[in-house]
Structure 1
Amino acid sequence: MNSRTKKFLSYYKPYLGLLIADMACAVAVSAITLALPLCVRYITVDVLEKNLPDALGQIYMMGAIMLVLVILHTVCNMFISYQGHMMGAMMESDMRSELFDHYQKQSFRFYDEQKTGQLMTRTTNDILSLTELYHHGPEDLMIAAMKFIGAFIILVNIDLKLTLIVFLFLPVIAVYAVYFNKKMNAALRKSKDRIGDINAQVEDTLSGIRVVQSFTNEHIERSKFAYENSRFVESRREGYKSETYFHEGLIAFTQLITVAVVVFGGAAMLHVELALADLLTFVLCIGILIEPIQRLVNFARLYQEGLTGFERFMEMLEIEPDIQDAADAAELAWVEGNVAFRNVSFKYQKNYVLKNLSLHIGAGEYVALVGSSGVGKTTLCSLIPRFYDVSEGEILLDGVNIRDIRLRSLRSSIGIVQQDIYLFAGTVLDNIRYGRPDASRDEIVEAARKASAHDFIMQLPDGYDTDIGQRGVKLSGGQKQRLSIARVFLKDPPILIFDEATSALDNESERAIQEAMEKLSDNRTTLVIAHRLSTVRNAGRIVVLTENGIGEQGTHKELLAKGGAYAQLYNMQLTI
């Protein structure tokens, strides 16, 4: 048994009691289905042909037994249908939760290489197809096996020659089923890939709908969607074609079996080798024999759909997070805020963004990073909370290599305010509370005051309980930025990173946010990435990054006096 098979079966473990009950009901359903033709045979052969003296009473008694069996059959089927499906749904839920947790452990590098729509498809559509397999798989196999073996025993006892004729069809059916089953599997896999592409395209277009409409490029997005949509339709065409040949072909085979039984059974009756009552029982049992074949057909379909979904599920689950806690990683008891880069190099693919860089930031120091686009300012800051791991060298926090610190502990000590603010759908209160989920309302309001956000919040329709929409679309850029700063105030971390937090704002909003940032950075180690150099004139130290590493560093006045790269950048902005 390979590891994937073990993983597949492991999801049954929490629901073993329910599975056993489901299997017991499946056994009962199979036994009753086999017993009903025997009850009919008892009436036709043992009662009517032998003309028993109490024939009417025997018929009524057998009718009562059959009625009880039908009621029991119905109850068991209802249990299988409801509780069995719920078992599958709960297992599906467990898998979806596991995959979602796995996604959250992945680093930024993983998301750089993946499409959100494809990840969503693996969490929804792919796992959805497993519900039916987990429920109907064991049940269909159990019922099919019992009915097939039981029907075979009954048929052999009625007429061996006729039974052998029936079983001559089975090898042909098996070869036919295996061939088209493989074609179905390939088509289903392609179809799941295509629906993932559609989801990725929809997610991309809707996320950028404001850009789409501002450039009146709806026709371009429509064209891209139409392309992905047509590819999906073509993949479904292949799938439906294989499924049609598979399903309808097997139905044709089962009908041929019935025809063969009637023809050869009728011939046997003419030669007085088979009684009418036995032929009637034989035909009823053929129906029971065909039903397991149909169940196996259904199982094959569920298996292929579920297998392709499970394979895509496991492909994601088997991608190990490239950033994990070391076995002996420690919790941070107290953070002063000394950050040191020692000969740090980093590359995304093949090209180095940072090469052999060394930098020390003292506890409580306010350091600004400036430089042209693409020199690695944001990358440098992303290495501190280990959103990416260094390719070479090391980063120390209070003298401890950050790889030896638990990720949760490390990131809890760092507050980040980005240029592209992400606010969640919900209320103002919910979004600020994200900084510390256990915070009281009073603490949230205090954080908003410190971030100069309280006044504008109180002017909103419902104050702190105002719904701000998806990604905070109901707020201005400055308002969103102040909420993000309030969120970091609430978190109260010893280390702060501002990633071009004011570059896209108007002058009034910039001043308000600059004041909030200065309040927040008081007595904290602060690293600021600045686009507008006017915002970092008060920084304790300005570090100028170039393609070759650190070009120069010093205070605003010192760097202007040098007349180097910083002075050129500053003078260039003054003339714009």
Structure 2
Amino acid sequence: MKTYLRILQFARPWADFLPLYLLYTILGIFFGIGNLALVIPMLNVLFETTSKLAVPEHLPAFAPTLDYVTGTFNYFFAQIIAQHGKLGALLFVCLVLITSVFFSNVFRYLSLRIAARVRARVIRNMRRTLYNRVIQLQLGFFATERKGDLMSRFTNDVQEVEISVVNTLQAVVRDPLTIVGYFVVLFYMSVKLTLFTLILLPLSGGIIAGLAKRLRNQAKTSQSTLGSMLSVIDETLGGMRVIKAFNAQEYIKEKFEQQNDQYAQASRRIDNIRDLASPFSEFAGVLVVAGLLYFGGTLILGGNSDLQAASFIAYIIMFSQVLTPAKSLSASFGNIQRGLVAGERVLSIIDVEPTVRDTPDAQVLPPFQHQIELRNLQFSYGDNVVLHDINLTIEKGKTVALVGPSGGGKSTLADLVPRFYDPTAGQILIDGHDLRGATIHSVRDQMGIVTQESILFNDTIFNNIRFNQTDATEEEVVRAAQIANAHDFITATPEGYQTLIGDRGARLSGGQRQRLSIARAVLRNPPILILDEATSALDTESEKLVQEALMRLMQSRTSLVIAHRLSTVQHADEIVVLQHGRIVERGTHEELLRNENGLYKRLSLLQTSPNPLQ
């Protein structure tokens, strides 16, 4: 119930729809019950028992009671009989019935329109909230979560909430009100018979609750398995080249089949359990109707009932109509379980609080003027300490390179500067301002980042260069491309700057993608630049073009460069050598090469020696 209410929170503000929805629903129920109540006067006319009606001498004074409704109808009914006879009374009943059915359906339609609006609002707000939360989360969150499972929450889980929860909202609100309305009328007609009908209801309710609990457990398995299956699909599409190269089609198919079979089995169990709820509730209702016919019949035949034959028939018809909303309600409780589990999966992401966020008193970081300082910096992934007591100062306009063996902490250190993570201990200061006291937006607004993997979007070349710089002119975009050595290949494409580059830039070569990333950074024109192995995955020709573009980009900027190829950082003002999360050497290229026993010298020999393995 807690999850259901939380899902409904996404429909706020409730005042926009709830009063009207309740009004239309109640009016629809009122006229719906009236349709059945009109059976009594019609049967009285047909059975010629109208003389036994309790007819008031005067039109009753208004009161919100059933006595007023029945008294008013009987008053006009008696007037019609007196003036137009039984055929006129029958015509009157039929006209009232048509009017009642018309208004019943009008109000039902109006309530459905409001329900559709609420459904669209809930799903829109839930998906928006989920997307906003994912955008806010720190990079470390995505290192532990499967991409396919996250996609499943955006698509299948939200859709399941719409199908199973929001679509049943009307049943959850309307059906209980309908049942209450019917029982109010039934109690008004006969207290003794209505109490008899309530005997089996707690029993059937308990069985349906047990089925709902089993459904919930199976739904958790189903949604989790679906997320795993989507992860396999995502890995397959992203790694198709490797799968084919290793002849791993059968291996990956087996992984997919395993998840696919588990999902099919879980879905089948859910359907079997869910489909049991509705037939059971219907069978239990028929049992009650049969018992009611027998019990009520004995009372009437024995002369112990206050109901006439016409009223008893109308009572049976009206009670049988209770079965429809009861059956719908039980089916809704079955359907809703899967949606509640999907809702919990969505809410579990929404409830994750970002570990990197603005403090309540965060200030806008002033424009960069002097230096970046890393003071006694430490960082850990859980219990695994990655960086130990890092002290480093980068003066404005200088280039500092980070080199060292893989796993030494270079990329982690670079990720701390734009606050992708916050340090476990120590400080990162820009012009004396601790970055944790500045807003994340103002920190990253002063930085440009070019990584080894060029992250491009399925859009035009122009829009990729102008990413989040929508006020940039065409001349500025072209100038950025020229600086990045990208203009020539762009103009050689069929549509030039308006050429679509495909998913993640699949229609471009690695060097072309990297030069577009550099052009994007050039257009941003940041005072601080972070280059994370920007040329390590390129061929010699592409590396030369990209390296030229990077040199232009780094001019007059403060740069932090990570590189495996030491030849690309020889020009750096300072080279910092990291090993096991500690700074083991620092200096210029020439200074470090003079240290015969140093790690940098050893790495340089490995890269320049024609036979490094000998």
Kindly state the Cα deviation for residue 107 of structure 1 after the two structures are TM-superposed.
0.5
1:17 aligns with 2:16: yes
The one-letter code matched in structure 2 to 1:174 is: G
Partner of 2:246: 215
Secondary structure in structure 1 of the residue aligned to 2:537: coil
For 2:501 and 2:483, locate their aligned partners in 1 and report how far apart those are by CA, in whole Å. 20
> Which structure 2 residues correspond to residues 122-137 of structure 1 after superposition, within 5 A?
122-131=153-162, 135=166
One of 458, 461, 485 as aligned partner of 1:452: 485
1:409 aligns with 2:465: no
One of 595, 598, 603 as aligned partner of 1:569: 603
Secondary structure in structure 1 of the residue aligned to 2:374: strand
| More moved, 159-168 vs 331-340 | 159-168
Secondary structure in structure 1 of the residue aligned to 2:561: strand
| More moved, 512-521 vs 149-158 | 149-158
For 1:45 and 1:548, locate their aligned partners in 2 and report how far apart those are by CA, in whole Å. 94
One of 282, 290, 312 as aligned partner of 2:345: 312
Kindly state the Cα deviation for residue 562 of structure 1 after the two structures are TM-superposed.
2.0
| More moved, 439-448 vs 375-384 | 439-448
> Which structure 2 residues correspond to residues 410-449 of structure 1 after superposition, within 5 A?
410-434=443-467, 436-449=469-482
Secondary structure in structure 2 of the residue aligned to 1:426: coil
| More moved, 20-29 vs 410-419 | 20-29
The one-letter code matched in structure 2 to 1:282 is: Y
> Residue 371 of structure 1 contacts residue 544 of structure 1 at CA under 8 Å; is this kept in 2?
yes
1:330 aligns with 2:357: no
> Residue 277 of structure 2 contacts residue 331 of structure 2 at CA under 8 Å; is this kept in 1?
no
Partner of 1:76: 107
User: Residue deviations 1:317-349, cap 9 Å, x none?
Assistant: 221100011122111231126111111111213
Partner of 1:537: 570
For 1:348 and 1:192, locate their aligned partners in 2 and report how far apart those are by CA, in whole Å. 29
> Which structure 2 residues correspond to residues 93-112 of structure 1 after superposition, within 5 A?
93-112=124-143
For 1:241 and 1:138, locate their aligned partners in 2 and report how far apart those are by CA, in whole Å. 23
| More moved, 124-133 vs 308-317 | 124-133
1:37 aligns with 2:70: no
User: Residue deviations 1:77-101, cap 9 Å, x none?
Assistant: 2233333123212211111101100
> Which structure 2 residues correspond to residues 270-281 of structure 1 after superposition, within 5 A?
270-271=301-302, 273=305, 275-281=308-314
For 2:6 and 2:12, locate their aligned partners in 1 and report how far apart those are by CA, in whole Å. 11
Secondary structure in structure 1 of the residue aligned to 2:556: coil
Kindly state the Cα deviation for residue 48 of structure 1 after the two structures are TM-superposed.
4.7
Secondary structure in structure 2 of the residue aligned to 1:36: helix
One of 235, 238, 246 as aligned partner of 2:277: 246
> Residue 29 of structure 1 contacts residue 143 of structure 1 at CA under 8 Å; is this kept in 2?
no
> Residue 148 of structure 1 contacts residue 288 of structure 1 at CA under 8 Å; is this kept in 2?
no
Partner of 2:179: 148
Secondary structure in structure 1 of the residue aligned to 2:594: helix
Partner of 1:518: 551
Partner of 2:519: 486
For 2:244 and 2:142, locate their aligned partners in 1 and report how far apart those are by CA, in whole Å. 27
1:284 aligns with 2:296: no
Kindly state the Cα deviation for residue 138 of structure 1 after the two structures are TM-superposed.
5.4
> Residue 165 of structure 2 contacts residue 336 of structure 2 at CA under 8 Å; is this kept in 1?
no
For 1:212 and 1:467, locate their aligned partners in 2 and report how far apart those are by CA, in whole Å. 27
Q: In structure 2, do the counterparts of structure 1 residues 549 and 158 end up closer, same or farther at CA, with 3 Å as the change threshold? A: closer
Kindly state the Cα deviation for residue 548 of structure 1 after the two structures are TM-superposed.
5.8
For 2:262 and 2:46, locate their aligned partners in 1 and report how far apart those are by CA, in whole Å. 64
Kindly state the Cα deviation for residue 502 of structure 1 after the two structures are TM-superposed.
0.6
User: Residue deviations 1:123-148, cap 9 Å, x none?
Assistant: 22222233356655554344333332
Kindly state the Cα deviation for residue 268 of structure 1 after the two structures are TM-superposed.
4.4
Q: In structure 2, do the counterparts of structure 1 residues 337 and 313 end up closer, same or farther at CA, with 3 Å as the change threshold? A: farther
Partner of 1:464: 497
The one-letter code matched in structure 1 to 2:425 is: E
For 1:519 and 1:422, locate their aligned partners in 2 and report how far apart those are by CA, in whole Å. 21
Partner of 1:178: 209
Partner of 2:77: none
Partner of 1:554: 587
TM-score, normalised on structure 1?
Answer: 0.95
Partner of 1:85: 116
The one-letter code matched in structure 1 to 2:22 is: M
Q: In structure 2, do the counterparts of structure 1 residues 486 and 477 end up closer, same or farther at CA, with 3 Å as the change threshold? A: same
The one-letter code matched in structure 2 to 1:262 is: L
Secondary structure in structure 2 of the residue aligned to 1:516: helix
Secondary structure in structure 2 of the residue aligned to 1:461: coil
For 1:203 and 1:435, locate their aligned partners in 2 and report how far apart those are by CA, in whole Å. 27
Kindly state the Cα deviation for residue 271 of structure 1 after the two structures are TM-superposed.
3.8
TM-score, normalised on structure 2?
Answer: 0.89
Secondary structure in structure 2 of the residue aligned to 1:49: coil
> Residue 7 of structure 2 contacts residue 122 of structure 2 at CA under 8 Å; is this kept in 1?
no
> Residue 369 of structure 1 contacts residue 377 of structure 1 at CA under 8 Å; is this kept in 2?
yes
Partner of 1:166: 197
Secondary structure in structure 1 of the residue aligned to 2:38: helix
Partner of 2:151: 120
User: Residue deviations 1:274-317, cap 9 Å, x none?
Assistant: 64423321221112221231232133134423322332222112
Partner of 2:331: 298
For 2:224 and 2:530, locate their aligned partners in 1 and report how far apart those are by CA, in whole Å. 39
> Residue 28 of structure 2 contacts residue 108 of structure 2 at CA under 8 Å; is this kept in 1?
yes
Unmatched segments (≥5 aa) in structure 2: 51-80
For 1:165 and 1:5, locate their aligned partners in 2 and report how far apart those are by CA, in whole Å. 33
| More moved, 483-492 vs 339-348 | 339-348
Kindly state the Cα deviation for residue 478 of structure 1 after the two structures are TM-superposed.
0.3
Unmatched segments (≥5 aa) in structure 1: none
> Residue 4 of structure 2 contacts residue 165 of structure 2 at CA under 8 Å; is this kept in 1?
no
Kindly state the Cα deviation for residue 380 of structure 1 after the two structures are TM-superposed.
0.9
For 1:348 and 1:146, locate their aligned partners in 2 and report how far apart those are by CA, in whole Å. 54
For 1:44 and 1:135, locate their aligned partners in 2 and report how far apart those are by CA, in whole Å. 41
Kindly state the Cα deviation for residue 395 of structure 1 after the two structures are TM-superposed.
1.0
Q: In structure 2, do the counterparts of structure 1 residues 142 and 420 end up closer, same or farther at CA, with 3 Å as the change threshold? A: closer
The one-letter code matched in structure 2 to 1:85 is: A
Secondary structure in structure 1 of the residue aligned to 2:567: helix
For 1:376 and 1:192, locate their aligned partners in 2 and report how far apart those are by CA, in whole Å. 37
The one-letter code matched in structure 2 to 1:553 is: R
One of 180, 188, 195 as aligned partner of 2:219: 188
> Residue 436 of structure 1 contacts residue 491 of structure 1 at CA under 8 Å; is this kept in 2?
yes
Q: In structure 2, do the counterparts of structure 1 residues 432 and 225 end up closer, same or farther at CA, with 3 Å as the change threshold? A: same
> Residue 258 of structure 1 contacts residue 283 of structure 1 at CA under 8 Å; is this kept in 2?
yes
The one-letter code matched in structure 1 to 2:23 is: A
Q: In structure 2, do the counterparts of structure 1 residues 149 and 378 end up closer, same or farther at CA, with 3 Å as the change threshold? A: closer
For 1:59 and 1:467, locate their aligned partners in 2 and report how far apart those are by CA, in whole Å. 73
| More moved, 164-173 vs 92-101 | 164-173
Bigger CA radius of gyration: 2
1:26 aligns with 2:25: yes
> Residue 45 of structure 2 contacts residue 90 of structure 2 at CA under 8 Å; is this kept in 1?
no
Partner of 1:386: 419
Q: In structure 2, do the counterparts of structure 1 residues 557 and 146 end up closer, same or farther at CA, with 3 Å as the change threshold? A: closer
Secondary structure in structure 1 of the residue aligned to 2:604: helix
For 1:404 and 1:513, locate their aligned partners in 2 and report how far apart those are by CA, in whole Å. 36
For 1:208 and 1:78, locate their aligned partners in 2 and report how far apart those are by CA, in whole Å. 50
> Residue 419 of structure 1 contacts residue 504 of structure 1 at CA under 8 Å; is this kept in 2?
yes
> Residue 387 of structure 2 contacts residue 582 of structure 2 at CA under 8 Å; is this kept in 1?
yes
The one-letter code matched in structure 2 to 1:33 is: G
| More moved, 417-426 vs 126-135 | 126-135
Secondary structure in structure 2 of the residue aligned to 1:11: helix
> Residue 435 of structure 1 contacts residue 487 of structure 1 at CA under 8 Å; is this kept in 2?
no
1:231 aligns with 2:265: no
Q: In structure 2, do the counterparts of structure 1 residues 233 and 132 end up closer, same or farther at CA, with 3 Å as the change threshold? A: closer
The one-letter code matched in structure 2 to 1:478 is: G
Kindly state the Cα deviation for residue 199 of structure 1 after the two structures are TM-superposed.
1.6
For 1:354 and 1:142, locate their aligned partners in 2 and report how far apart those are by CA, in whole Å. 57
